[in-house]
Chains A and B, each alone.
Chain A
């Protein structure tokens, strides 16, 4: 039998239904790949061997009798931000030491209800705060891609869903779940040659996902093809009475949206995304994407999103403010780490000082400052007004066009330690963060290689709850780009 870990999700689904192989066989193949390779990549922080095999056997019983859900028997990796009952869930933070939830997140429950198999929990930036997976308590994740020409220096996989990206790109899972608050699905997808979609705010339930910034957080998949992302999102998305911000709209058949036809589609090119000093390869890739869509029959239009440059600074007020409130719950009383002291306030302070890493502390302190008496209007209120303007920009652009095309990231993958200045690191999300600020859906599609042989992605931004147009357009980009490059296996 050929290597089962080579197959993409759609092929795995077909193979399982056609009884070409069993879920137990492909699950064992993935567990073996993880056991062999994970030490080099550090993508998984927990591998649930027994649970995976038990779930696979249960799926095989269903498949044998011709039953089974949309993901029956498909082995997946789960970002450590999702609560998984009885299994390590720590947002890759020291402060949640030993936390094993007594409940399951809605998104993962949806996946299990559809028959998926859990391989384990994936590494990530601590509390999803980072763009390079260098802030995890469990150490850096390594990108399977390396620069060409014999340069063996490790590269970051992006973040915060860095473990999800590395594992999916290195074929240590069929697909993975991620979350995206400012670009945490799309940026790592772009840096590892994957497809990643952040759906519209409210499309996936946030219940049971460790909260970072509640008005921005959304779950979504990282996969090796556009179709695989459509299949994953079909299962992940749902209405949910447990999340009041989750919409009561039926989930469309995203796979059916992959018609390959974009004739007459109006594609907007926002001029403000053309940055000073943007690397030539990003500019070239963007132009290539424009040409591909035009050749496929789409109509290209220039549009303006005048407040684009203010999205990132506004984000770095709104997100830390919400984080400082959300992370107030970690006090050493109800779960996780406790650093003892006879005085209760000293216990809180010591626990939080030892339990949070430097980036998390930085953001909690920024958030506390911008929400503190006397500064609220100057910072938080102003940032939320700017956010209204950013959303208005998109609404006006979408009066003229159906979808927007932009680069996904300002550069290819970089080396750990290469970016040490926080603001410089934040700039990684410059093309993705606007989408979260406006609550819109965005998808990253691998589209080419930089001169060093590293993957680069394009981003499509859609109207609220119009993921179908995103998938349709992404499918056309994917076919035109014919991105078949793979990292040479060294891990």
Chain B
């Protein structure tokens, strides 16, 4: 299942990473090297094997449904590149 340059551009779009033409070409080669290498997993018989969902068997922890944190908008917003009155500022998305 080799990827071509168009596929690289499609997944870069999905991953929201802009790539130049040169980069797309280089990434195509690197991804194919890695994907060729992981192809060996096709040798493994996985018939009837359950996919792993949790590496350590444990039951989900429960806690009381009550507010344990919050009321700290300054802390939440402290690292925002742009903010105003406890809101994150982004470029206009709705005309």
Binding site for B on A (CB under 8 A): 98-103, 200-202, 215-216, 241, 244-245, 247-248, 307, 309-310, 313-314, 316-317, 324, 328, 331-338, 340-350, 352-353, 356, 361-362, 364-366, 368-369, 372, 375, 378-379, 381-389, 391, 421-423, 437-439, 464
Contacts and interface: CB of A to CB of B under 8 A. Distances in A.
B1 to A, nearest CB: 7
Contact of A387 (B18, B52, B79): B52
Contacts of A215: 54-55
A5 to B, nearest CB: 34
B11 A423 contact: no
A309 B61 CA distance: 35
4 closest pairs, A vs B, by CB?
A: A439-B55, A384-B51, A335-B79, A338-B81
A89 to B, nearest CB: 10
Nearest to B19: A353
Nearest to B74: A102
B40 A365 contact: no
A234 to B, nearest CB: 20
A309 B19 CA distance: 33
Contact of A384 (B34, B52, B56): B52
Given A101-B79, A244-B60, A344-B91, 18 more contacts: A216-B55, A241-B61, A247-B58, A310-B41, A313-B41, A314-B38, A316-B34, A333-B81, A343-B91, A346-B18, A356-B17, A362-B31, A379-B38, A383-B38, A385-B52, A391-B55, A421-B33, A422-B33
B75 A368 contact: no
A313 B17 contact: no
Interface in B1-41: 1, 3, 7-8, 11-12, 14-19, 27, 30-31, 33-35, 37-38, 40-41
B67 interface: no
Contact of A345 (B16, B19, B80): B16
Nearest to A355: B17
Contacts of A248: 61
Nearest to B17: A352
B31 A365 contact: yes
A449 to B, nearest CB: 32
Contacts of B76: 102
B46 A347 contact: no
Interface of B: 1, 3, 7-8, 11-12, 14-19, 27, 30-31, 33-35, 37-38, 40-44, 46, 49-56, 58, 60-61, 63, 72, 75-76, 78-82, 88, 90-93
Contacts, number: 165
A349 B17 contact: yes
Contact of B38 (A316, A343, A389): A316
B56 A331 contact: no
Nearest to B62: A244
A132 to B, nearest CB: 17
B34 to A, nearest CB: 6
Contacts of B42: 382
A99 B92 CA distance: 25
A368 B93 contact: no
B37 A338 contact: no
A349 B56 CA distance: 36
A347 B55 contact: no
A310 B56 contact: no
Given A316-B38, A342-B91, A201 B56 contact: yes
B49 A365 contact: no
14 contacts: A100-B78, A102-B76, A215-B54, A247-B56, A314-B38, A333-B88, A342-B92, A352-B17, A385-B49, A388-B51, A391-B55, A422-B30, A422-B33, A464-B56
